[in-house]
Amino acid sequence: MAQAAGGETVSIELNKLEPRDGACRAYLVVKNTSTRAFDSLKLDLVMFDSGGVVAKRLAVQAAPLPVGKTSLKVFDIQGRECAGIGSILLNDVLACEPASPQDAEGAASGCLGLVAASARGTVPFTK
């Protein structure tokens, strides 16, 4: 699984951010167009303030992720106001475990290349 083959991707869209009880709630739309289901897909996310300074780092689990499935993953960024988040970086994929053993070879090192990041709102989401 070293690289995405033939347009196979796991696309992750930062759909929106909203204030929530002293935190900023993030909504990620995750679409698996690859031929592999995932039991684990843990993302290393880094939030930057509007000046480009690192403000927060989080590990977020985006799995389980069946083949052909679109899912919504919701998580809170504690201690951060949404207005103070200037951008979010998908820094790495910390864990990547395909559901099928035959897809496991090279999984951890190849999953970042399989992921495509995008944003619908005003806060950029890149890798």
Under the banding of pLDDT at 50, 70 and 90, the label for residue 4 is: very low
**Is residue 1 a part of any domain in this protein?**
no
pLDDT tens-digit map of 51-108? 999 999 999 999 999 999 999 999 999 999 999 999 999 999 999 998 876 655 544 5
What CATH number should be reported for the domain holding residue 53? 2.60.40
Tokens of 28: 């990620």
Tokens of 84: 């103070």
Residue 74: HSE in the Cβ half-sphere, 13 Å Cα cutoff: 6
Number of domains forming the structure of the chain: 1
Q: Which domain holds residue 56?
A: 10-126
Q: What is the pTM of this model?
A: 0.87
Q: What is the per-residue pLDDT for 8?
A: 84
CB distance 111 to 96 below 8 Å: yes
Q: What is the per-residue pLDDT for 68?
A: 95
Positive or negative torsion for Cα 75, 90, 30, 86? positive
**Is residue 27 a part of any domain in this protein?**
yes
